[in-house]
Each structure stands twice: as C-alpha cells, then as structure tokens.
Structure 1
Amino acid sequence: MHLVLILVAVIIFIVFATSRLKLNPFITLLLASFLAAFAFGLPLADIEKTIRAGFGNILGYIGLVIVLGTIIGVILERTGAAIVMAESVVKWLGQKFPTLTMSIVGFIVAIPVFCDSGYVILNSLKRSMARTLNASPVAMTVALSTGLFATHTLVPPTPGPIAAAGNLGLENNLGMVIGIGLVFAIIAAFAGLFWASRCKDLPSTELEQAEEAFEEAREHYGELPSATKAFAPIFVPILLICIGSVANYPTAPLGDGMVYDILNFLGKPLNALLIGLGFALSLLQGRNKFEEFGRHTSKGLEVAAPIILITGAGGAFGAVLAATPLGSYLGDTLSTLGLGVIMPFIVAAALKSAQGSSTVALVTASALVTPLLPQLGLDSDLGRVLTVMAVGAGAMTVSHANDSYFWVVSQFSKMNVATAYKSHTAATLVMGLVTIACVWLTSLVAL
C-alpha cells in the first residue's frame, strides 16, 4: 500500500508544483523523477543512469519528429497556408451549415498548427461567417474551438500526441495512431458540435467590424499559396506514414521486395516529415527564401524546445517508475478492478484540469501509465494506441481558467468568463467524456 501512497504523493507534487508554484513542467518532472527514485528505494548508483537513459531513449525515437512537425506548422501559419486550408473547406462545404463548416475547418487546421495559434488565425474568418450567415457567434466559437481541440489532443503530428505515442512505444506505429486518432477526433468534434448547438442563444458582442477584420487579416499574408500547396506539407507526410504502416502489417500486403523497402523508408515518421518540410519550402515567396526559412526554423525550434524537454523529462519519469516494484504490486490490484483505459484517462484529466496544459498532461500521463500497461491489459499495439486516445481524451477535460487556450478563445471572441465557462469549458468536458466512453467501449470489443 505504501507504494501507491508514494505514487499519489509524487503526482500531487507534480500538480502542486506546476499549478501553484508555477514551476516549469520540465524542472517539475525532473525533480519528480529524483523524488520517486529516492522514495521507491532505487539503488543510489542506478538513479542517475536510469533518469539519463529514460530521457535519452524517448528523445532518440521522437525528438526530431517533434521538431520537424513544429517547423512545418510554423511555416503553414506564417505563410497564410492555414487561411487557404480554411477557405478551401468553406468553399467545398458551402455555407448551409456554418457551425459544421467551422468545426471541420478547425479539425483540419489543428493537425499541423497548435490550437491556440489556429484559433487566432481563424477567428476573423469565423466572425465574418457568423455575420454574413447570421449565425450565432457563440455557437461558431464553440464549433471552431472544439474542432481545433479534437485533433490537437488526438492526432499526430501535433507534438502532444506524438510525444504520448513515443512514451508508449508507438514511434514506429504512428500510422496506426493517426488512423485511429482521426476516428476518435471526429467523435470528439461532433460532441463539441452538439454542445455548440446548445450555445446559440448565449449573448455575445463580437460582430462589430467582422468583415473588415477578416480582410485585414487576409491581406497581412500578402499573396496566398494555392490549396494544393497549402495542404501538401501535412497530408503528404500523413499519407506516407499510413502507407508505411500498411506495408509493415504482418500479412505483408505490399510484399517484401523493393516496393516494400521504398515505402517502408518513406513511411518512417522522420523521413515522411522531412519530405513534408520540402513541400513546405514551396510556400515561401520572394528572393530571400532561405533567410525566411531560417526565421521560421528558429521560431519552430523555439516552440519545439520546451515540448522536447518536457517529453524527455516525462521519459525519465516513466523510466524511474518502470524500475520500481510499483508495476508488479499494482498488477495484483488493477487487473481485478478492470479499469483498463479508464485509468490513463483519469490521470490525464486530473493533470489537465489542475495545471492547464494539454501537452503536459499528454506527456506526463503517458509516461506515468506506460509501466502499468500489462496490469491494465493494454500491453499490445492496439492497447497502446487506445491508451494514447484515453490520455488524449483526458487532456481535453477540461479547459478552464488555468489553460491559455481558454483565454485565447474567450478574449478573441469577446466573451465574459461566465459565458466562456458555459460554452467552451462545458464543451471540452462533454468532448472528453464522450471520447473516453467510445474508447472504453472499443477496448471492451477489440482487446
């Protein structure tokens, strides 16, 4: 029993340090690794080695993938490609179902772009559509924010889900994570869309000068790329990763000759994202393309650095837990409780709600539950993928005042806090609960 109490105490320390003391999550997780190592009684000679190996092993698999995915997202954001992607969806779907269109726009844009940045980029388009189509601005806000949030927490190459997949040993099965993640992200987005329809009568003061604001935002990017160029940097890598995963199925559907070798090579996440980066270069304009690329790369590295460090610290924390007798002890209790994917969800939801960051919740929760997968009945490829989905669902639950995304949505939409809680926060709660219910039902049938 004392092992469980130690684990609970370490989790409380992580929550308290990040939410109340405002310590950086990287430092918090590193300290938690040492605290757990001492508290669980690891030999002193092994502590530093275990933490260092855990940090390096996870980054060796997934660090470069996070960097490349982040740089591609920055280029799509800063060249106006995200705006083109949004306008293309509006053009394809028409304007008969504005909230559905807004949700799909967010769903697609957040695959490469962080949800905070995606909301800022798309807010003026949302306001313009709400005014033109006489749609509820609050309903449109919730549709956009939840569409963005669904893929942000569930679908690689967004860094949070990539890091969680790496912690859970799925770095070579990202195609499977992407495919299953898209299914559950659609479910989450529709749950958010359902709540958006219930918010249409909430008050808003957002629509002044909406059309002018969108035109100004659009002109900021200058000449915009074509839709093909805008979509290619993200959808080509995803397609390659998925094809590579299919090629590696045990049934060998693509054989084992040269075709397999080529597709297997191109489908490796690092190689696929490097190809995506090549397509992203075609979005750059003007004479100083390489100088501009250098600026975008610097920004991408600036954004990726804390995520990489947090991911590495999460790997170190997970390695410490794996080296303790905790897993075998919990095996006698968790296996009889039948918690399965519910436990990763609870851990991630507690971390998300307490400290605000979805990415930190994804990294920390996945690192914490990895040593417990055999006891939870999730120690298979599908079980690990469903664990990523459960952690992602928890990382949605809930976005409130300690989450920067809450303030981006509420302030850019000119909502008061009470309205933001009734609309955005409640929507993220509904999304998380609906998603974990579907993940749990899937685990009952498929595992």
Structure 2
Amino acid sequence: MKKIKRVLILFLITLGIVVFYNYPKLNILAGYSAKNTASSVFLAGRSLEFTDANDNNFSPINITSDEIDVKEKSATGSVYGLLKRKAVYREGLGAVLVTSDFDITKPQLTPKRSKPNHTIPFPYGNANHKDTIFPNIDYKKLNETIDTIFNNRNKIRSVLVVYKDKIIVEKYDTGFTKESKQLGWSMTKSITGTLFGILKHQGKINLKANNLFPEWENDDRKNITIHNLLQMNSGLEWNEDYNTISDVTKMLFLEKNMTKVQVNKPLIGKPNETWNYSSGTTNLLSGFLRKQFNSQQEYLDFWYSALIDKIGMNSMVVETDMSNHYVGSSYAWATARDWAKLGLLYLHNGEWNGEHLFDKDWVSYATTPTPTSNGRYGAQIWLNKGGKHPDVPKNMFSFNGYKGQNVFILPDQDLVIVRTGLTKNVDVNTLLKGIIESIKN
C-alpha cells in the first residue's frame, strides 16, 4: 500500500512539474483553440464538429478539446482538462479571448455599419455578377489550372479570379460558398495599412511624423516614423514565430491590449535599415489609429465607413481584443468576393466607382520595396520585386495570410486572384503562371 502511495505521489509531483514548465504553451494552445472555435462557429456559421475536424485539426492544436455555449455565444478550449480558456462572441466585434475578470455582460460600443447594396452587381455591389465570356480566354486551360490545386493535400477552400472587373472563375471546396466568411489572418495587415493611405489622402496624417508614443520620448525610438512602421522597418525587437512561445503567439493569445506589446520593445536595429516582419508592429499601428480620433466610436466606425463598407466589403468583420482595439494584424473575416474587392481597389489605384479613396501615389508607395527586404515587402503588402515567383510579373503584389490566404494583384494583366485555405503547400508560381497563360493578350 505504501509503495502504491509513493508511486502516486511521484506521479503527481511529475505531473505538477510538467504542467508548471508547459503552462505557457498549454495556455496558448487552449487560447488558440477557444478563439478559433468561437469565431468559426458564431461569426462564420460553421459547426463545432466541422471546426474541430478541420480548422483545429493540426499539431499541436489537435490535442485540445472544445465546447460551445450557444446561449452565451462562447467557446471553451482545454488541454487534457488541465487548463481552460474561454472566448466570447460579441456582435459587431467578433470573438475575443477573455480572462476570468472580464465582464462579458457589460455593454460594448460596436461599429455602425451601412447596409449592403443588393441591386448593383459585383464588384460595386453585392448582387449576382453578370457572366461575361471573353474571347481571349482559354477557359479549358484556366479551369484545369484551378482544378489541379483542389485536393486533400492542399486543403483549398476557395479560388476566385477577377479579370477586367468580371469574375471568370469561382470555385469552392465542399461546404463553402460565395457567402462563406473566411479568416484572412495577415491579409488584415493590408486593411490596416490602407487606412493610413486614406488618412494621408484626406490630409490628416504625415508618414514622416516621429516621436509617436510617450514611451519613446526619451530614447532613440523617438526617431521611428509612421513610414518605418508601415514598412516593418523600425528596428524594434520582435519574434514572429507561430510554432513556439514567441512574441506573436503571446500577443494573440495572452494579451488584453495587443496595441501595447510592440511599443514596449527595445531597439535592436536601426530604423530604415532592419526589416523584420512583425504582427506587433501592425497592432501598434492600430493603436496609433485610435489616437487620431476623439472617441472610441469614431475609431470603430472609421474602419468601416472609410474603407470596408465604402467598397461593399459588407461581409467583413474585423475582430477586437479585450481593450476593443481592432486586431489589425490578423483577425479580419470576409467572403472571397469581398477580399477581391480590396485587391480591385488597389488595381484601380484607389478609385472606387468614381471616387478616390486614396491617391495613385499610395499604390506606388505601398509597393515600393522596404530596404533590406530583398524586394519582398512594401508597406503592409508583399511584393514580387525580388522574383520569388519567377514566372510571374515582378510588379505583382499581394495581401498574404497565415496558412496560405492570398489576394494577388497583377496590374499588367488586369487580374485579381483570391486563394484561401489551410495550407501553404500550393505552388503559387505554377498557379499564377497557369492563370496568366490562359489569357491571351
């Protein structure tokens, strides 16, 4: 009997040590699972079973288990029952991970939204698009190119090809339709960046402005400009690694106010000389945007009135953190068609249905390579200037997100291509090459 007790005590001690040293990791895993489940079920309208079998079914997230409370509109993620995290869905604000002291019953300000226009066809409205047959398109080759990437390995959810403002291909995986909201992950960064282009066009912001935050007043960080932040070239410390306990995973799954994480980081390089991709920087920009408005309501409304609803991306929801700042780095959901509209806005140099939301110069600015990025990055936008995709024009640029979310803009070909899914395995070069070659000039 004593031997059994000793073994049991030793087991409990060992278990306690394992939990203690792995607590941060378990906390992040449970947080990811809870947040993703709440968004998938209550924002995107998928079932818990589908979410667990697909969106959360990858290592190490698949060691978690999830439950939902339909009445409360919440999801709870747990790891072996040792640690639980809760995420709550709030209409207009999306799902948010909460702490035990967060009052989920407290009323929250929400953005004022405009109604979708269901009388005008895509892209300027949300009515069904008009089918157009272009004589210069090899539709057989085009469809064969798209069909080749739809398989179990690639886990593609949607591909949408827009040529001369007309949808020429629209294909969805089983269970998805043109109404399905899909998480853009870091494509959200391009939403955040675009808002700065709009403010610049309105004469309300100077990209060369520095001394941006009180925390930077007494050290060299005061020299960092808005331009440096937009280009991810501030020199601030940041670790963007989704496979470990890193700055980005701690920010997304542990922080109450995600706009404050990057502001507290030290300089480890020189502004304009040290490109470093950072979701913390984009959320810092979201926090800076908040400072441009007199009230929280104005900040919440601006994202929609100035851009999202303005160009008819009415399906889009940008989620907030517990401090009700938009998570501008990662958490925008929208249909494939609405993601395409953002690409079309850039294809048309900021003009939307006769109105300029930003200057043509903004597109040139946003697609100018950041120093030390090897031609890969502009201002919250990815570039092909360095020739990463060798068979694709070098002036192609894109909004890219975790696990292979993309909006590709090809100005010379008058093309916008949307791809969403759960993997980066797709040969993007071959996909884009096939689409381009199917269209004869």
Greater fraction of residues in helix: 1
Greater fraction of residues in strand: 2
Query: TM-score, normalised on structure 2?
Result: 0.27
Higher relative contact order (CA 8 A, sep 6+): 1
Query: TM-score, normalised on structure 1?
Result: 0.27
